[in-house]
Amino acid sequence: MKIAVLPGDGIGPEVTREAVRVIEALDLGIAMEEALVGGCAYKAKGHPLPPETLDLARASDAILFGAVGDPDCDALERHLRPEQAILGLRKELTLFANLRPAKVFAGLESHSALRPEVAGAIDLLIVRELNGDVYFGEKGFRQTANGERQGYDIMSYSESEVRRIAHVAFRAAMGRGKRLCSVDKANVLETSQLWRDVIVEVAKDYPEVELEHMYVDNAAMQLVRAPGKFDVVVTGNLFGDILSDQASMCVGSIGLLASASLGERQTAHGTFGLYEPIHGSAPDIAGQGLANPMATILSAAMLLRHSLGLAQAADRIEAAVAATLADGVLGRDLGGTAGTAEIGDAVLAKL
């Protein structure tokens, strides 16, 4: 069993280090190999996703990813920017299904941005499509007839792209509360109308799942008003990106939300995938030991469960995280004082 470890930029290496320590402590006989990705890869090798990094990812059973993004690189041409590395990995490896679970940890109800009784009910899963939408459409700058500069990004989904993510979401709903909310903007966008039509077609294969459609603006509101009403949410790349950051603050902090990005490729141990916190490289706190590593540690647990078939080890990590939080070991993002390594130490002690 082999994991490609891609720490990336900013707080990426800080949070990834703690997740690697947790995996090592479990002594599972997993080989781990590191490679450069993002801004640091651009600076060292001239490209945010060097071929050797992609080769390592392909040759591994799973990828543990930190974060990419570096303000020094924001003026580079689009294809050389650090963010292209994570977009490239998702696309090149056909990792189209992004699972972002959001659940309030016992004892953290009062740390949510919402009232404790509202937050306490949150237990939802966002299934975000990851290979299509406006992120991957034709884009560029052009001049209008009157000489103005215009930027454009084409939003589109093909029916096969919607169908495959719909099946992932319906299957996830079957394994949970059998309720699925599909989020779109079909009142305005043709891309969303097709999305909705295909979701309705796929629903026929899952008669036990209660399907609801919701416009994304309403969904953003309902996520704050009554987040406990959601079970599984399925949505496109852009809406899922935004709603999952919002969900993180309903739970308490963006430093708590993990994710798995999966495709169809099976290895000898499970489903090949990439695992990362939902947050970015947080340049505002990078290098200060302030980042909360829980999202990355929980991503490592998802990796063990989905890609390596090590469900018991995953359960151990998740229980250790829950116990650490219940003990009140909290980073600054949750109103506490614990630093990145201190949080990692506390999780190790609870394993």
Ligand X SMILES: NC(=O)C1=CN([C@@H]2O[C@H](COP(=O)(O)OP(=O)(O)OC[C@H]3O[C@@H](n4cnc5c(N)ncnc54)[C@H](O)[C@@H]3O)[C@@H](O)[C@H]2O)C=CC1
Q: x/- string (CB under 6 A) for ligand COI, residues 276-295?
A: --x-x---------------
Among 20, 57, 64, 83, binds ligand X (CB under 6 A): 83
The answer to the question of whether 287 is labelled as a binding residue is yes
Residue 217 designated active-site: yes
Binding range to ligand COI, per CB under 6 A, among 79-87, 175-183, 186-194, 216-224: 79-87
**E strands, the chain, where?**
2-8, 31-34, 62-67, 97-103, 123-129, 139-143, 149-153, 179-184, 210-215, 232-235, 258-266, 271-277
Residue 185 designated active-site: yes
Q: State how far the Cα of 302 lies from the Cα of 300, in Å rounded to an integer.
A: 5
* Max CA distance (Å), the chain: 65
Name residues contacting ligand X, limited to 242-281 (CB under 6 A).
254-255, 276, 279-281
- Name the binder of 292 from Mg ion, ligand COI, ligand X, none, CB < 5-8 A by kind: ligand X
Residue 70 designated active-site: no
Among 18, 61, 70, 83, binds ligand COI (CB under 6 A): 83
Q: How far is the CB of 147 from ligand X (least distance, A)?
A: 31
Phi, psi of 28 (to 5 degrees): -100, 5
Q: What is the DSSP letter of 271?
A: E
Q: Please choose, from the candidates 294, 301, 264, 265, the residue with its C-alpha nearest in 3D space to the C-alpha of residue 279.
A: 294
Which contacts of 142-150 are long-range, i.e. CB under 8 A and separated by 24 or more positions?
Answer: none
Q: State how far the Cα of 99 lies from the Cα of 68, in Å rounded to an integer.
A: 19
Nearer to ligand X, 14 or 318 (CB): 14
Told to check if 18 binds ligand X by CB under 6 A, we report no
Binding site residues, ligand COI, CB under 6 A: 83, 86-87, 241, 278, 280
Specify binding-site residues. 90, 100, 128, 217, 241, 245, 280-292
Catalytic residue positions, numbered:
135, 185, 217, 241, 245
